[in-house]
A and B are shown apart, each in its own frame.
Chain A
Amino acid sequence: MTAGFWRQVMAVVERDLVRERRTGDVLWVTIPFGAIALLLIPLAVGTDALLLSQIGPGMYWVIVMLFGVLVAVGKASSETLPQQDAAALAGLDPAAGFVGRSTSATMLLLAFEVVVGVVAVGLYNLTLIGIPWLIVTLVIVAVGLALLGTLTGAIVNSTSAGTALVPLLVAPLSVPLLLGATQAYDGLRFGHSILSWVLLMAAVVLIVAMIGVLTARPLQET
């Protein structure tokens, strides 16, 4: 991977972040969506503080998996076919495109996780223990989910496909991230070792990254 490759990646990241600044899709739509989901849950299951503190962390991570992935989808599907062709003709390495889109999706997902996380801590009265490792978990989940969402978005790559198709495809594959994140939170609270879960999530990240880079060109050529 040459210097040119990384320059292309940065160009893609910049393009995506500029687009986000212009449309405000994540900031004004997806994040509020995640936040209101957290609000709806106690309306449905009851406001007992003990219950909420027990289900809160799990609910938060489920919302990250289901709604957060929309952050990554937006990047891939907002490129129309002519725009993709133009990028290809301009010499954009498809793998660089994938890495770039995944990187911008990671950053936006992190923002999603932090803002929605603050809402969760507030509404569900959550205690945060082991903050450094929690941050590690947040980052790994953001990277993993961004990779999954970007790759799946590239596979679907269709404006006519239903809006729920990418979340549907990502949901079962995100289970290791979901279990890893929830077990990490529990482990940190109760003093267990969470290394195996962190390693599992890291494995997901590595494998999806590899598949994404290797299939970037075949996907573009279809």
Chain B
Amino acid sequence: MQTQARVRRWPWVAIGLSLATAFTLSMMSPADSVQGDLVRIMYVHVPSAWLAYLAFFVTFIGSVAYLLTRDLRWDRIAAASAEIGVYFTGLAISLGMIWAKPTWGVWWTWDARLTLTAIMFFVYLGYLALRRTTEDPVLRAGRASVLGVLGAIQIPLVHFSVIWWRTLHQPPSIIRPDGPAIQDPLMLVALIGGVVAFTIVYVSLMVKRIELIHLEDRKSAVESAIERPVAGEAVTAPKLGASS
């Protein structure tokens, strides 16, 4: 019993430890010569953005795998990754805005990367909205996986179109949000440490989120078994003598 509880708890422990490490590294790194201490925002913004794209990719793989195998486990992976991905995409966008305001004076810069991330956010959101409309797990999996494939394959085209669009309308050089050059090795450590830590967080959240999907599917199976009336009840003998 105790071992079972301990096994179930490892993802939370992993999340706690990796975040503590990442935080320490980002505090230990020096300030940037140009951006000052604001550069520390990069240590949470970049890992979030990395996870947003990773989660999206996993949803794509899960969708393809489901279409090929019809194994619901792949659909659960796709769904869990999409929800976690929406969260990290939203976080990446928020952190990008918090970074942009003091650095360039505006909340939003319409650069290619930020715009693309915002578009991706809505693709994810739509995927989750679609899943909510269908209760039957098999029907839901089939529809969601086609959308997952369609969305993922369109993203490179969206990517190119947005980048071409920005290069045609080059924003003023003050608002060119490329990341600062990494001058100090400690900065690189903080950045990579953040990416690794957040990846561990992603995997841990995936494990738990898939467990939750599993439990919810079991719960709705149990509930529908209880609510369903016994088949024979639909057919009753006509009542004679009752007023009609």
**Interface set of A (CB-CB < 8 Å, partner B):** 151-152, 155-158, 160-162, 165, 168-169, 171-173, 175-176, 179-180, 183, 196-197, 200, 203-204, 207-208, 211, 215, 218-219, 221-222
Contacts and interface: CB of A to CB of B under 8 A. Distances in A.
Interface string B117-142: 00110110110011001100011011
B122 A204 contact: no
Contacts of B168: 183
A155 B154 CA distance: 16
B14 interface: no
A156 B188 CA distance: 45
Given A173-B123, A207-B154, A155 B165 contact: no
Contacts, number: 95
Nearest to B125: A168
Majority secondary structure of chain B interface residues (helix, strand, loop or mixed): helix
Contacts of B139: 222
Contacts of B120: 172
A165 B129 contact: yes
Contacts of B160: 176, 200
Most buried by B among A179, A204, A211, A221: A179
B133 A156 contact: yes
A173 B154 contact: yes
A215 B157 contact: no
Contacts of B150: 151-152, 155, 173, 208, 211, 215
A183 B122 contact: no
Nearest to A210: B153
25 contacts: A151-B150, A152-B147, A152-B150, A155-B130, A155-B147, A156-B130, A156-B133, A160-B133, A161-B130, A165-B126, A168-B125, A172-B126, A175-B158, A175-B162, A176-B154, A176-B161, A183-B165, A183-B168, A204-B154, A211-B150, A211-B153, A215-B150, A219-B142, A219-B146, A222-B138
A207 B67 CA distance: 18
B104 interface: no
B143 interface: yes
Nearest 8 pairs of A and B residues by beta carbon? A222-B142, A176-B161, A169-B126, A161-B133, A172-B122, A179-B161, A176-B157, A172-B119
